[in-house]
Amino acid sequence: MKWYDEPLDIQIKRPKPLPQMVDSRDTDKIEAAMQNRKTHKKLAQRDMLLVETARLKGLRRAELSALKVGDIDFDNQLLVVRMGKGQKDRSIPLVPSPSCKLEAFCRGKSPEASVFGLKLVSISDKIREWAQKAGCPHVHAHSLRHQFATTLARKGVGARAIQSLLGHADMGTSQQYIDLVASEPQGSCQHPRDTTTAPTEASRRPPHGLGAAGVPKPR
């Protein structure tokens, strides 16, 4: 950049575009396509649970792939994301619908077993495949994370709580969802099946095995 032909040592940071708006009707179509599958019902049920967990918990693809049975605390209704982006753990409150399905799906499995048994690339491919079958080719794995964050913002959840639940490194990323909701036309409403919950006191506690500062507790 120059000022009167003199170079200026100034860098202007480009504003980030607002996140993609996700229509809840699209995820309804994807789940309907899964329910209507005639063969390999067990695989379809797993894929439905994968989509529901991503939509209601906001996990990244890598976090869904790395999720283990022992990371879900059904007694305290918490899902712990181990070593998320930035190598940080975070806990997310469960809600009844996915909690009951997850508990049934995980029953009999070792705590070290993978919940979904899918690699990161396979998760992307699965969601893309189902989205195309449902006539929503624009929906991808990260769209479900966007939907979770947008729903929280519609419920009036603040940027810091959104940052905590989604594991954003920069609170500015969380603020974008609040800005996105603020730009929506008046009269936009919450999807009737949306059961995303605001953070509870339990979800703000350090994950099991960590102290208040995130330091492992002495054994």
Q: pLDDT tens digits, residue range 20-70?
A: 677 889 999 999 999 888 778 889 889 999 999 999 999 999 999 999 999
Q: What is the pLDDT of residues 111-134, one digit of tens each?
A: 999 999 999 999 999 999 999 999
Q: Is residue 1 part of a domain?
A: no
Q: Is 215 a domain residue?
A: no
Full-model pTM: 0.77
Angle, CA of 61, 63 and 67, to the nearest 5°: 125
Whether 24 is in a domain gets the answer yes
Q: Give the pairing of strands 78-81 and 6-7.
A: unpaired
Strand 72-73 relative to strand 6-7, pairing:
unpaired
Supply the DSSP string of 94-131, one letter for each residue.
Answer: --HHHHHHHHHHHTT--TTSBSS---HHHHHHHHHHHH
Instruction: Give the lowest-confidence range in 38-47, 67-76, 98-107, 181-190.
Output: 181-190
Confidence of residue 167 (pLDDT cuts 50, 70, 90): very high
Residue 22 pLDDT: 74
Count of domains in the chain?
1
Lowest-confidence segment of 106-120, 134-148, 179-193 by average pLDDT: 179-193
Alpha helices in the chain (DSSP H): 24-35, 41-57, 61-66, 96-106, 120-133, 141-154, 159-166, 171-182, 201-204
Domain contains 76: yes
Residue range of the domain that includes 121:
19-186+195-204
Q: Rg of the Cα trace of the chain?
A: 19
Q: Which residue has the higher pLDDT, 71 or 1?
A: 71
